[in-house]
Structure 1
């Protein structure tokens, strides 16, 4: 004979899983469903569960983000090249065994949760932030990291004033153009049949640079951002340093 279902008030509160893999176990799923339905739960208990589950999710995202980062730093030709160029600029004459010190400081690339809909960011004093909750996959992280490393390179070489709209726009044009995020397959995946092959790369770079400049506190609106991007376009789009040319 089947045992009767216990009343809601004596249902045991589930504990958070000990590790990420146990999230997928049947027991955690059963208790998760129980909590999602709100059976016998106080508002405080449900909030605690949500906090526990969010913590596990963020830890999983964080671990995955760092695994992707380390793989990309080891195998991506674009990122490896940018890391070498930044390290060369940072060496400032430091020599080890008769050779310039060309080690990039990986601690300058961190993963964290971002509230905005963005995949990464650069801060001239802190380094590169990868938004672990916005990264879709390893290849998305590669494009994001390459983009931010162009900003890192620009800031190291020219000491960019990031509040100056023309400085900001120039680096955004270069980052979108050189990182690979505007190559054919990426744009086709984003825009489908609306993508124009003939000038697709330039249109993508303009669009993404404009969106980034709009986030500058000194930018009034989209029209203002477009004007600034247009003013610096010729000199900045044509500047492919440290690459010899744009690789698509």
Structure 2
């Protein structure tokens, strides 16, 4: 931190900054926070690509299935929506730098999006088909590790201990399908998720079992 930034920060926090300088400082502060978030996000991304077993495995499996996802296809940016990331078949993987809590959260988020990329390369998903979308969301939430038991404890989201994983997967899949432009409402999303649930939840490819 430069002396000038430190001086401005102290003046702002202690109320000694001139009124005409406050707006400019707050804009600069926001820009700095965005830059710091961006830098941190890319550091976490690079760590995951190089050291996370599940991310490394998924990148390998995507390549084996005919796809190609590398660091250049995984970008960090600010998101308005309350989500950790997203996948687009033509644009790649988005990591929401302003929603990422730590590198473990990014690992789960990236693994989730890479399951979508795997499904896209192996099964040629039609993302406007609600059943296709629901199936990939079920698999992504189940296989990425984001619904592992410890994450559920952190969120205090477990109602039924024995079925906590399944409840988490279903809840997250419904929310994602609701965001599909072809979905009318929550009731339709729940119906579609229920229709494909058994086959998609039990499909653990490319893993031998659910990653916990």
TM range (shorter): over 0.9
- Cα separation, 2, equivalents of 1:90 and 1:51: 45
- Cα separation, 2, equivalents of 1:116 and 1:23: 35
- Cα separation, 2, equivalents of 1:28 and 1:63: 23
- Cα separation, 2, equivalents of 1:185 and 1:156: 31
Residue 106 (str. 1) matches residue 84 (str. 2):
no
Change (3 A) 1:75 1:166: same
- Cα separation, 1, equivalents of 2:196 and 2:116: 16
Which has the greater radius of gyration?
A: 1
Q: Which residue of 2 aligns with 1:16?
A: none
Q: Which residue of 2 aligns with 1:229?
A: 193
Q: Which residue of 1 aligns with 2:36?
A: 60
- Contact 1:22/1:28, CA 8 A, preserved across alignment: no
- Contact 1:112/1:130, CA 8 A, preserved across alignment: yes
Q: Which residue of 1 aligns with 2:50?
A: 74
Runs of 4+ in structure 1 off by over 6 angstroms are: none
C-alpha RMSD of the superposition:
2.0
Q: Which residue of 1 aligns with 2:145?
A: 180
Show structure 2 runs of 5+ residues with no match: none
- Cα separation, 2, equivalents of 1:235 and 1:46: 57
- Contact 2:85/2:93, CA 8 A, preserved across alignment: yes
> Which residue of 165, 173, 183 corresponds with 1:209?
173
- Cα separation, 1, equivalents of 2:3 and 2:128: 44
- Cα separation, 1, equivalents of 2:90 and 2:185: 27
TM norm structure 2: 0.93
The CA deviation at 1:144 is 0.2
- Contact 2:112/2:143, CA 8 A, preserved across alignment: yes
Higher relative contact order (CA 8 A, sep 6+): 2
Q: Which residue of 1 aligns with 2:132?
A: 167
Show structure 1 runs of 5+ residues with no match: 1-20, 92-102
- Contact 1:184/1:201, CA 8 A, preserved across alignment: yes
TM norm structure 1: 0.80
156-165 or 46-55, which moves further after superposition? 46-55
Number of residue pairs the alignment of both structures matches: 212
Residue 144 (str. 1) matches residue 106 (str. 2):
no
- Contact 1:108/1:127, CA 8 A, preserved across alignment: yes
The CA deviation at 1:29 is 2.4
Deviation per residue, 1:47-68 (Å, 9 max, x gap):
3322211111111000000000
